Amino acid sequence: MSASAVQPEPVLKVEGVSKRFGGVQAVSEVCFSFGAGQICGLIGPNGAGKTTLFNLVSGVYVPDAGVIRILGARTDGVPAHRIARLGVARTFQNPQLFDALTVRENVMVGLAQAAPPTLASSLLAFSRRRRREEEDRVAADRHLARVGLTTASDRMAKDLSFGEQRLLEVARALATRPRLLLLDEPASGLSQGEVAQLVALLRDLRADNLSIFLIEHDVSTVMNVADHVVVLNYGRKIAEGAPQGVRNDPAVIEAYLGSAGGAAPRVSTERAPTGRQMLSAEKLVSFRGELQVLREVSFDVIEGEVAGIVGPNGAGKSTLLGTVAGLYPLQAGHVRLGDKSTEGQPAERVVQLGISLVPERRGIFTGLSVRENLALGAYARYRGSQRQQIDADIENVFALFPRLRELASARAGSLSGGEQQMLAIGRGLMARPRLLMLDEPSLGIAPRLVAEIFRVLNTLKEGGTSILIVEQNARSVFEIANRVSVLVRGRIVMTGTPAELADDARVVEAYLGGRRPSSGSGMQAPPMPIEPAAPPSVQ
Amino acid sequence: MRPSTASRELLILVPVALALAALGVLGNTYMISMLVIAGIHVIVTAGLTLLLGFAGQISLAQAAFYALGAYGSMIGTVHLGLNPWLALVLTALGSGIVAYAIGVPTLRLHGHYLALATLGFGIIVNIVLVQETNITGGPTGAVGIPRLTLGVELTSDRQYFALVWFVTLALLLVCRVLVTGSSYGRVLRALQASEVATESIGIDVARYKVQVFVLCAVLASLGGSLYAHYLTVISPSEFGFDVSMEFLVMAVIGGLGSVWGALAGVLAVTAFLEILRTVAPMIAPNIPTSEYEVVAFGGLLVLTLLFFPDGFMGRWRRFAGALRLGAMGR
Amino acid sequence: MKKRKIVGCARMLLALGLMLVAGPAPVNAQAKEYRIGAVMELSGPFSSWGAPMRDAIQLAVDNINAAGGIKGVPLKLVVYDGRSKGTEAVLLAKRLVTQDKVVAIIGPGTSPTTMPVIPYVTEAGVPTLSMGSSDRIIEPANERRWLFRPPYGSRHNVEKLIEHFKATGIKKVGFLSVNNAYGDTGREEFEKAARPAGIEVVAWEKFGGTDNDVKPQLTKLRALAPQAIIVWSIPPAASIVQKNRAELAIDIPMYHDNGASLTPQFIELAAGAAEGAYGVVIKVDVLDELPANDPQKATLLKFRQQFESRFGMDVGGLYGEAYDCVLLIAKGLESAGDNKEKLRDAIERVKGFVGMAGIYTMSPTEHNGLSARDLVIGRVKNGKWTIVK
Amino acid sequence: MSEVVQFLLSGIAAGGIYALIAVGFVTVYNVLGIINFAQGEFAMFGALVAASLVARGVPLVAAIPLAIAVTAATGALTERAILRPAAGSSDVVRIIITIGVSIGLRGLALTVWSSKSYALPQFSGGEPVRILGAALALQNFWVLGVAAAIMIALYLLFERTYFGSALRACVMSPNASRLMGISPSVMSLFAYTMSAALGAMAGIVVTPISLATYDMGIMLGLKGFVAAVLGGLVSAPGAVVGGLLLGIIESFAAGFLSSGYRDAIAFALLLAVLGIRPTGLFARMAEQRRV
């Protein structure tokens, strides 16, 4: 943090805050604070606990331990609407607008905070009501002008573009005359131009001495706009300070791209892929809500290989796997497994065809035992009276993950994050898939366990299983993949062998930003080279 | 340009009022009374429309508040000798207070706790009506409730028709203006769109939900009072759990959120039963068809919800919206 | 958009309006038929009696028409389902009068659904024969000119029971009534009559019409050791009480009002447990035991034969009561034609008319017409009602 | 003394019936996430079908499974034809659709069976059991026995079978279970069909005691629902305990306070529970789905 002579009372002060969900410690003992008129950015890889921390600050969750002070008042355990009354306004990752209201009316609802209208006053006192309406209208237009939505004021909120909806949320938040603005992933889903507009707006607001706290996976935007950056990983704060320093912090780079000298084994060349196409995806297009996530993504997986797709958070990786697995509708494009088309099949059918997805955040059945979870993995191929076969397969999974054997009858919800991930992978294998797809297996898991998991993946690969792995943790993928593609903003921007990509500066750039023409002078630090991979630690 | 809220509503109101006036002049006693009852049902259903539409909550006690209105007016006029209008207002206030007492603890919780609480409340009210014979007249009911007066005693169906529909349309208009043309209504519509965002603005969502529930109960109570003074005889079986269900059905069939939906729902159900009664004997003159009414009613409800999950008004809004977009060349 | 909404609303209203104005096929006032309307509880909580009543009046109308109608003019019956609701009953009464142009209305079938109808039929001047059990329907007589209540009511039952108790020396009873208008009416009447007759009621208990276990109430009553337990309800509840009595092996005699015996369901549903039950019954239930000189015997034998051949089931008192409503109207029509005022007067003048339920003698102050004399105390033996001498 | 014993016995007997209905509510709620207001109507339907079959000379042992099968098929048809097409609608709309189903089934029953009452013979003949002057008909033991048997069967199904664990998985995480090849649509069909069958069993087993009418489902459904809520709405054992508790409290309150207010007691209890512990008396918070 830049040294300043007078340090006023911090706008937001988080002291030793922890939050646990079941067996997973989402946030642990986080402390940070920042002062008035600053923009504070909270970043961290997927699963680091950003959203949980944000929800703790905004009053959605109550912390298990620790104290949160906003503008000097203690707010942990205070309902969201009371926190808002303290002068805190927020936006949402998926804009939560009042669809049936016009743009101006959306802002006018925000104005209502000062004196929430009562039933009696609305039914009576017509003239006063009308006068206040007029005042509110003028005030709303002022806020709309500020975010540049003046011309849209009479349109319905639901007819706005995604970017405009974001701006409208900011305008609505401003209408409550906040002293602290909380922004939940403000840049997600925006085009480059829209992001630039947003950054300009945030700077403009800061100039008015408004404090802003934002979480964002688009690190380059945060680096660009924030005065103060807090970095989380595994629910803990790993770095804090000015963007410049944080950006060059090896711990941060490692958090994002993975450990370079980790225990993960090198690519084994003993068994080459056969060359036959296992999975081919052509020009996949998919939407989540109104937002286009996949923009004609094409890739393939060769039988027996590990294919990796890496990219920053929000690039569309999970949507890509979910679309292939049949969880999300495919708007356009073709998917084939071997010679069979799987497009348009529901998920429960796709798994029968031989594609098994280990979903993001694991999706284990928390109320069932570990053994029951594993057994259900074979549901797609279960044809009665095959219990013994299933039990044999469970034994195989236990052989891969000995830890699970000890936990066989434990409730899955009581497992730690890493153990749950092992369980999820084991469960995925139980389907005896022709293609195993893994969505961020390293998410929120301690490095030791990540290494363990990647060791198992390597074993599987040597056993001939085709694997498609999607990761934010690029370096760990480089360790085991035959080929890696980089997905950015719904497009595959490059594909190559790990060796090719490891030296490509564009990969780091895709994650942490860098030479962006619009960036300020301080933002042009040279891209961080990826350290050469350590020699393999063969089992 | 958007015309002012009130004048937009008048564009609906005037033709409805004219059509009703025409029916009021042309119709026979039966049609007039049927429409009087329908008018009262519109008031009661409108409350549910608001509650379901804006607070996203179900009340299974609408008939109980309807009963509170009717019995309150009965007790006020018959036992206490109050002026009927005074009794009506006091009863509505009382019903509002009862609703407040139910709403505060249940609406602070997330989930459909109001539905559970009102289920219990609705049935208990009905049992009390049956049991407390000295006050309520017991299961046979209470008689001798005076007619309302407006200078003169309103004795004819036609007079009552005019009164009820005047009150109904006035209440609908007030609700409509409240919802579409006031800062209060804006908050309600915000609540309907996103509870979490409304809360994030610093608005106490539970408070508004409670208020909508109170409004819903007050409307039911007003309907009940009008009912009691119209029939002059009331008994508990008019206010049972099944009646609460029927109000709910009419609200959902009509479409939620807009009180005009209540009008559409009540008229649709009334018209449907009437058509059934008229047409069924023509098709099968020798078969006693009356039992089929219940089947048909259930069928109508299920089919309506399958094909128009947003109710008739919702369907209409979407249709009209599509036309509007078409006209704009989009 | 708004305009279209308006058009939609207007169209909906127009459709409703057209339908209302058009109404049913226009009634030709000169048509050679007398229309009789009926509002019956065919669905809803009171529905267990609606369908039997409808069947009986339909049988009566068909029989009269088969015999050539009223002086050659056939009867036409219009039946509506009052859905056990007073509101619906009022609306349907209005529909019957204004659209179906009926000369008289039979029903509604219960007291709570009849009460709301009273102001309208009085104002419109339509003879109305309610089947409710409460005398509030026909009292005070000067305000109820247009209402008749032909079936036996609580009053007759109480009279008959007390007469029987006096004769058999029963002075201490327990009273168990169903928790609705029917049970309450009986309880009121019994309360009025018991004290003057020197009968002590040890406890007034209630049970729900849909309860399936009355044993707690029966246990309580048994503990108070009355000489008899009076049960005021209708089947299926009456049958359940009887079954519970058997389970508890209570040996205190149990008396039912005539609601129990009105349909054969009572004995059938109790499946043996009704054996030994006492009840106030209508003569049709003990027809075979009636002396040959009983004034009703001949008509009843014919009625029973007609009923059983048409519906293939045993007859019950309720059918007789409903049947009588049509006969009373028919009798009035014979002398009055379709003038409602004259029809009312004619029904009020009926004297010594032998119906299925009893012998009717109406007067301006007596709009029921029956007397407890025509009731019988019966007892179930071998699955049939028999006369208690 | 005999009164108190009788209150207890009658309470347990009634509670067994409520428990049977409550279990059906819980099953549908867990899998479909809605309150199935047609639950009582399935009981009615099963009872009337069984009574009709017996009246036509079908032996009881054959009539009962047949009636359960007919009701289950009706439930399956309802799920496929009515609830599945509305799967995308809001909870409120789907709940109201079940109200429509209940009205429709009731109307159908009224048309087919009229408003008459129907009886079934007791499953086993014999004298009622008499304890200290109180009595309990043998059929009540059948009710309790069936309730217990269903509880055990459900426990075994859910906790001890492969399919049961798939059903539970589907409740916990529909999306993840799809990835296992478990079809939420099939599970929903199964759950609804099963709850219809459970309803039918409840209706049939109580008919020798309570008799069957077309509208018996209303009160049965409501009381069963209250029992389910008392038990937390997500737990079958909770539902059974809730049912028994409701039956006993009702019986004692009716006996000592006022028999006229008997039905009010269940609902007063519901209000009290909502005031004190909205998640039900026996629900584990962790298992709570949306209410």
Residue A15 has pLDDT above 50, yes or no: yes
Angstrom distance (rounded) from CA C92 to CA C90: 5
| Chain D CB contacts of C45 below 8 Å | 215
Lowest mean pLDDT among B133-137, B316-320, C378-382: B316-320
> What local confidence, expressed as pLDDT, does residue D285 receive?
36
Which of A327, A348, A383 to mutate to test binding with chain D, by most D CBs within 10 Å of its CB?
A348
Point out the residues of chain C with pLDDT beneath 70: 1-31
Contact B57, B112 (CB under 8 A): yes
State the smallest CA–CA distance between residue B35 and chain C in angstroms: 10
Instruction: Round to whole Å and give the CA distance between B88 and C184.
Output: 29
Interface A-D, measured as beta-carbon pairs within 8 A, has a size of: 74
Dist CA C33 CA C72 (whole Å): 9
Average pLDDT over residues A80-85: 89
Q: pLDDT at position A8, please?
A: 65
Query: Which percentage of chain B shows pLDDT scores above 70?
Result: 88
Contact between A69 and A13 under an 8 Å Cβ cutoff? The reply is yes
DSSP output for A287-305: EETTEEEEEEEEEEEETT-
The radius of gyration computed from the CA coordinates of chain D, to the nearest angstrom, equals 19
Q: What confidence category does residue A303 fall into, taking pLDDT thresholds of 50, 70 and 90? A: confident
pLDDT (tens digit per residue) in D52-91: 999 999 999 999 999 999 999 999 999 998 888 888 777 7
Mean pLDDT calculated for residue range B9-14: 76
**Amino acid identity of B313?**
M
Strands (E), B88-173: 149-150, 152-153
Rg, Å, chain A Cα set: 25
B309: nearest CB among D93, D111, D261: D93
Measured in Å, how far apart are chain D's first and last C-alpha atoms?
42
Q: Which of A364, A379, A431 sits opposite D166 (nearest CB)?
A: A379
Alpha-carbon distances of A274 from A271, A278, A304, A464, A466, rounded to whole Å: 9, 10, 6, 10, 10
DSSP state of C43: S
What residues of chain D lie within 8 A of the CB of C48, using their CB? 115-117, 213
Q: Supply angle C-alpha A337, A339, A343, rounded to 5.
A: 50
CA dihedral sign, ordered C131, C136, C141, C144:
negative
C17 versus D274: the higher-pLDDT residue is: D274
Q: Higher pLDDT residue, D210 or D1?
A: D210
Q: What is the DSSP letter of A525?
A: P
pLDDT at A22: 73
- Tell me the average pLDDT of chain A: 83
At residue B3, does pLDDT exceed 70?
no
Average pLDDT over residues A164-179: 92
CA distances from C25 to A115, C102, C246 (A): 61, 14, 56
Residue D235, CB-side half-sphere exposure with 13 Å CA sphere: 18
* Strand A277-288 with A332-337, pairing: antiparallel
Tell me which of D224 and B311 has the higher pLDDT.
D224
Closest-CA distance of chain D to residue B152, Å? 42
Give the residue among A536, A495, A530, A538 at the shortest CA–CA distance from A512.
A530
B 185-214 residues with CB < 8 A to C: none
Residues of C in contact with B23 (CB under 8 A): 13, 17, 20-21
CA distance A468 to A321: 9
Residue A416 pLDDT exceeds 50: yes
Across A227-236, A465-474, B290-299, least confident range: B290-299
Distance CA D236, CA D158 (A): 10
pLDDT for the residue numbered C226: 95
| Interchain pair D179, A346: CB under 8 A | no
Residues of D in contact with C239 (CB under 8 A): 117, 119, 211
What pLDDT does residue B286 have? 58
**Distance in angstroms (rounded) separating the CA atoms of residues C229 and C241:** 11
Alpha carbon distance A498, A507 (integer Å) = 11
Output the six-digit token pair for C338: 């379709």
Q: pLDDT tens for residues A469-487?
A: 998 778 778 888 889 999 8
Shortest CB distance from A380 goes to which of D169, D172, D180? D180
At residue A441, the pLDDT reads 86
Distance between CA A45 and CA A190 in Å, rounded?
19
Give the pLDDT of residue D2.
77
Asked whether B198 and B187 are in contact (CB, 8 A), the reply is: yes
pLDDT for residue B99 is more than 90: yes
pLDDT at A526 over 90: no
**pLDDT computed for residue A7 by the predictor:** 56
Of B2, B189, B203, the CB nearest to A113: B203
C140 cis-preceded (ω within 30 degrees of 0): yes
Tokens of C32: 């050679």
The answer, for B186 touching chain A at a CB cutoff of 8 Å, is yes
- Whole-number percent of chain A with pLDDT over 90: 31
Cβ–Cβ gap B295/D271 under 8 Å: no
C336: left (phi over 0), alpha (psi -120 to 50) or beta: alpha
If pLDDT is split at 50, 70 and 90, which confidence band does A210 have? very high
Higher per-residue pLDDT: A269 or C299: C299
C42 contacts chain D (CB < 8 A)? yes
pLDDT value, residue D129: 85
pLDDT-derived band at A277 (thresholds 50, 70, 90) equals confident
Task: Name which of A365, A384, A362, A392 is nearest A376 in CA terms.
Answer: A365
Rg, C-alpha atoms of chain B: 20
Residue D159 has pLDDT above 90, yes or no: no
| Phi and psi angles of residue C279, each rounded to the nearest 5 degrees, phi first | -165, 155
Q: What pLDDT, on a 0 to 100 scale, did the predictor assign at position A88?
A: 92
Query: Does residue A515 register a pLDDT over 80?
Result: no
Do residues A98 and B193 make contact, with C-beta atoms less than 8 angstroms apart?
yes
Interface test with B, best of A96, A126, A143 (most B CBs within 10 A): A96
Within 10 angstroms of residue C61's Cβ, the number of other Cβ atoms is 22
- Mean local confidence (pLDDT), B94-100: 97
Taking only the tens place, the pLDDT of each residue in B169-204 is 999 988 888 888 788 888 998 988 888 899 888 889
Report yes or no: B101 at the C interface, CB cutoff 8 Å: no
Mark D2-27 as b/e (b = at least 16 C-beta within 10 Å). bbebbbbbbbbbbbbbbbbbbbbbbb
Check residue A202 and give its pLDDT: 92
Chain C interface, best mutation among B12, B23, B31, by max C CB count within 10 A: B31
Summarize the confidence of residues D117-145 as an average pLDDT. Answer: 87
Across the interface, whether the CB atoms of D162 and A346 are under 8 A apart is answered: no
pLDDT tens track for B140-162: 889 999 999 888 888 888 999 99
User: Is C216 in contact with D219 (Cβ distance < 8 A)?
Assistant: no
Residue C202 parent element (H or E): strand C200-207
Q: Is A109 within 8 Å of B198 when comparing Cβ atoms? A: yes
ipTM of the complex model: 0.85
Chains near D (3 or more Cβ pairs under 8 Å): A, B, C
